[in-house]
Amino acid sequence: MIVVMKRGTSESTVADMVRRIEDMGLKAHVIQGTERTVIAAVGEKRDGERETLESYDEVDQVVPILAPYKVASLETKPEPTVVAARDLKIGGGYVGVIAGPCSVESEEQILTVARQVKAAGAAGLRGGAFKPRTSPYAFQGLKEEGLKLLAMAREETGLAVVTEVMTPHHVDLVAEYTDVLQIGARNMQNYHLLQAVGESRKPVLLKRGASATMDEFLLAAEYILDQGNTQVALCERGIRTFETHTRFTLPLASVAYLHERTHLPVVIDPSHGTGIASLVPPMCTAAVAAGADGLIIEVHPDPHKALSDGAQSLTPEAFAETMEQCRKVAVALDKTF
Interface residue list for ligand PEP (CB under 6 A): 102, 128, 132, 184-186, 207, 237, 272
- Binding partner of residue 184 among ligand PEP, Mn ion, none, CB cut-off 5 to 8 Å per kind: ligand PEP
Binding to Mn ion by residue 105, rule CB under 5 A? no
The least distance separating Mn ion from the CB of residue 322, rounded to whole angstroms, comes to: 17
What sign results for the dihedral spanned by CA atoms 214, 215, 217, 222?
A: positive
The number of C-alpha atoms within 13 Å of 69 and in the hemisphere containing its C-beta is: 23
Based on CB atoms, which residue is closest to ligand PEP, 92 or 168? 168
Separation CA 257–CA 67 (nearest Å):
14
> Which of ligand PEP, Mn ion, none is residue 237 near (CB under 5 to 8 Å by kind)?
ligand PEP
* Gap between the Cα atoms of 200 and 184, Å rounded: 17
Residue 132 interacts with which of ligand PEP, Mn ion, none, CB < 5 to 8 Å by class:
ligand PEP
**Interface with Mn ion by CB under 5 A: which range of 38-46, 59-67, 251-259, 305-313?**
305-313
- Kindly tell me which of 91 and 273 has the beta carbon lying closer to ligand PEP: 273
Q: Give just the sign of the alpha carbon dihedral 110, 113, 119, 120.
A: negative
For residues 133 and 181, give the distance between their C-alpha atoms in angstroms, rounded to a whole number: 18
What b/e string do you get for 119-142 counting C-beta neighbours within 10 Å, with b at 16 or more?
ebebbbbbbbbbbeeeeeeeebbb
Q: Which residue lies nearer to Mn ion by CB, 130 or 337?
A: 130
Which residue, 140 or 195, has its beta carbon nearer to ligand PEP? 140
Closer to Mn ion by CB, 141 or 265: give it. 141
CB of 272 to ligand PEP, least distance (A): 5
Q: Which is nearer to ligand PEP, 118 or 237 (CB)?
A: 237
**What does the alpha-carbon distance between residue 31 and residue 205 come to, in Å, rounded to a whole number?**
21
Using CB under 5 A, which of the segments 167-175, 213-221, 276-284, 301-309 binds Mn ion? 301-309
Q: Is 228 left (phi over 0), alpha (psi -120 to 50) or beta?
A: left
Q: Which of 263, 313, 334, 325 is nearest to 113 (CA)?
A: 313
Shortest distance in whole angstroms from residue 73 CB to Mn ion: 31
> Which of 31, 41, 88, 102: binder of Mn ion (CB under 5 A)?
102
Angle at which helices 144-157 and 107-120 pack, to 10 degrees?
40
- Angle CA 327–232–209, to nearest 5: 90
**Taking CB positions, which residue lies at the least distance from ligand PEP?**
184
Residues in contact with Mn ion by CB under 5 A are: 102, 309
